Amino acid sequence: MSTTIRHDVRVTAVPAFEAAHSDTRAGRYLFSYRITITNHGRETVKLLRRHWYITDSLFTTKVVEGPGVVGTMPLLTPGQTFEYTSACDLRSSIGRMRGTYTMERISDGRQFGVTVPEMVLVLPYQLN
């Protein structure tokens, strides 16, 4: 688990290897991740966009960018939390994922970036 806080928005990321949905012999490793976003500020904010960099140990980097997350642009009032789960696949058993969210303050329309903490994606016991 890793956490970042920026502009009073806290983001926590928890990755997990999904063995049942992976095919390690074919070089397909699926990792899920749970993201929790909490608005610790005094103003309502909206998540507008996501931007991910997903890198495996073969030095292949995928860039994923688009509106919202999991088909929604969550609105977070002060103190509110939004949680979602998604997944990515790698061609190797070790990788990293990092990114940013573009957020907007509803009161004035000002946009700002929030860093998503880097997640280490690793097949269990791979590093032992």
Q: How far apart are CA 50 and CA 44, in angstroms?
A: 18
pLDDT on residue 124: 83
pLDDT digits (tens, 9 = 90+) for 30-77: 999 999 999 999 999 999 999 999 999 998 999 999 999 999 999 999
DSSP 63-99: EEEEESBTTB--EE-TT-EEEEEEEEEESSSEEEEEE
Amino acid at 45: V
pTM metric for this prediction: 0.92
- Measured between alpha carbons, how far is residue 13 from residues 53, 78, 107 in Å? 14, 20, 28
pLDDT digits (tens, 9 = 90+) for 71-113: 999 999 999 999 999 999 999 999 999 999 999 999 999 999 9
Q: Residue 1 — very low, low, confident or very high, per pLDDT cuts 50/70/90?
A: confident
Tokens standing for 2?
Answer: 């890793």
Residue ranges per structural domain of the chain: 2-122
Please state the CATH superfamily assignment of the domain spanning residues 2-122 in this structure. Answer: ApaG domain (2.60.40.1470)
Please determine, for residue 128, whether its predicted confidence score (pLDDT) is greater than 60: no
Q: Residue 127 — very low, low, confident or very high, per pLDDT cuts 50/70/90?
A: low
pLDDT on residue 51: 98
pLDDT on residue 126: 61
